[in-house]
Amino acid sequence: MAKTAPAETPEGLILRIARLIPDPVVIFMALWPLFFLASTALGGYSYEARSPTGGTVTQTIRDMSTREGVLWIFDNMVVQNFLAFGGGVLGIILVIVMAVGVAEHAGLLGALIKRAASGIPGRFLALAVVFLGVMSSLASDAGYLILVPLAGLLYASVGRHPLAGMAAAFAGVSAGFSANLVPGTTSDVIMGVNARAFAEAQGVPFLGSLGQALTPPTMTYWFTAASVFVLAPVGAWVTHRFVEPRLAGLGWERPGDLDIGAFALTAEERRGLRWAGLALAVALLLVWLLARGPLAPFDSPETGQRVVPYLERLVLLIAFVFLAVGAAFGFGAGTFRSVKDVVAGMVKQMNTMGYVIVLAFFAYNALSLFSYSGLGALLTHLGASGLIALGLEKLPVLLLLAFVLLTALVNLVVGGLTSKWLLLGPMFVPMLYTVNPAMTPDVVAAAYRVGDSVTNIITPMMIYAGVILAFMRRYVPGFTLGEMFVMMFPYSVAFLVAWSGLLVLFFAGGIPFGF
């Protein structure tokens, strides 16, 4: 008798479906010829479209298969469409990544996590762990690789289920990824500079919800900072109300090779933190002097408008602070012996950017073709017309929440903030503004950041899902990926509801999202 194949488990089905989803680079590689063929098929087509700034405008699709179109592709592929896309967004991203890399390579971010986690009262343990997780998004590796196992050990040391602590940390690090009290993080730069490029490509004013000029790295700062104080208590409540009671009947064992001393600050790390504190004070003083001197605000003699040079150069100033503080910690803690070690920190972090550079080449060339050919304007016109026909023009809050849900669903199958933003941003930044001018770039970016984060912890596309599962299995052997997703699901729902509520409060209350 033939043997019957064992039934596929839900966990196996999820993983099998996930493997069928193409890599984002492959998606953009496929989009480029698709856009080229679409421009050829629709070349010369003209239509009347609603202008983002009011009124109507005649748009015509360019046929990119003509001699002029092919010359444009070759002449602009390397410099204009790749390196100079969005005013050189790739270069801006790499600068901030280099600076953060020094702090991470020195061990500063890990030391800060260990310092903050020491001596936390038991009743505030979940609150502190989620808060630290949210803040650790400055350097995701430190959050996943240091805070998550440390949280499990902290919980185990006081007799509480270690998986509850690890779940709280994972929720803060991953589902709360877009919230932070520090302005101008790498994700802020990616979101802001690209949002400006998406807006300017179709004539959308790069102004905030109150009509103020936006600075790309800080365009959603007030919202992301306020989000920290919403997500931390919500995450703690979910841990106490749902996760710990569910884990009460699940036995666990403490691995013999785990030692809380491994997560304690060394004398060298304490000295490094003192040096870092001094360097932070000096760096902030220098930034203040620059903001009061060469980079001080002035009225432009050409336009008469107020110019704020230090805000326009905020990424470089933040990079300088990270570089100074990271280097000071490294030399103080002994992890750096010479300037070569500082350079090594930059190089190490830049080595992780190889994938981003490849993604940027194909994505930015595809998006440039999408915009230049006029296909972007056509898609904006069709999408905006459809949304207006549904009556959503008069329901901006519903429009906003629908975009949050769409982003959250896309996040289940397309991982990575950059790749999703490059897929959704070029369409929805101009489209939603065209439907309702209250949907300014900062509002759309804030909505995206909510949806992009909350489902990170319940998708196998999350690159650290396997790592977190391995940590959890040290306490509960045989713990499955499906069980981990079920455990994390209440965080995802609670964060989605609470964070969306904060988004609506900012939007409906006329509170500026950033500056």
pTM of the model: 0.84
- Looking at residue 258, what is its pLDDT? 58
What DSSP state is assigned to residue 419? H
- Range in 36-50, 83-97, 203-217, 416-430 with the lowest mean pLDDT: 83-97
**Confidence label for 257 from pLDDT (cuts 50, 70 and 90):** low
pLDDT cut 90: percent of the chain above it: 58
Q: Which has more confidence, 186 or 4? A: 186
How many CB atoms are located within 10 Å of the residue 129 CB?
Answer: 34
The helix-helix angle for 354-372 and 375-389 (nearest 10°) equals 80
Q: What does the pLDDT read at residue 299?
A: 84
How many Cα atoms occupy the beta-carbon half-sphere of 206 within 13 Å? 20
With b for 16 or more beta-carbon neighbours within 10 A and e for fewer, the 179-192 pattern comes to bbeebbbbbbbbbb
Spatial CA neighbour of 170 closest among 248, 235, 118? 235
What percent of the residues of the chain are helix, what percent strand, and what percent coil, each to the nearest 5?
70, 5, 25
Residue 222 tokens read as 């007030």
Q: Does 238 or 157 have the greater pLDDT score?
A: 238
* Radius of gyration of the chain, Cα coordinates, nearest whole angstrom: 24
Per-chain mean pLDDT for the chain: 89
Give start and end residues of each alpha helix (H) in 202-335.
221-238, 244-247, 267-292, 309-312, 314-333
DSSP 23: P
pLDDT at position 88 = 85
Q: Label residue 142 by pLDDT band (50, 70, 90).
A: confident
Average confidence (pLDDT) over 134-158: 82
The pLDDT score that the predictor gives to residue 66 is 96
pLDDT in tens, 479-502: 988 899 999 999 999 999 999 999
- Pair of tokens at residue 495: 């964060």
Give CA–CA dist 270/286, Å, rounded: 25
**Out of 26-30, 250-254, 462-466, least confident range:** 462-466
Residues contacting 411, CB < 8 A, separation 6+? 420, 451, 452, 454, 455, 456, 459, 461
Q: Which of 49-63, 353-367, 402-416 has the lowest mean pLDDT?
A: 49-63
Question: Is 70 exceeded by the pLDDT of residue 390?
Answer: yes
Whether the pLDDT of residue 313 is over 90: the answer is no
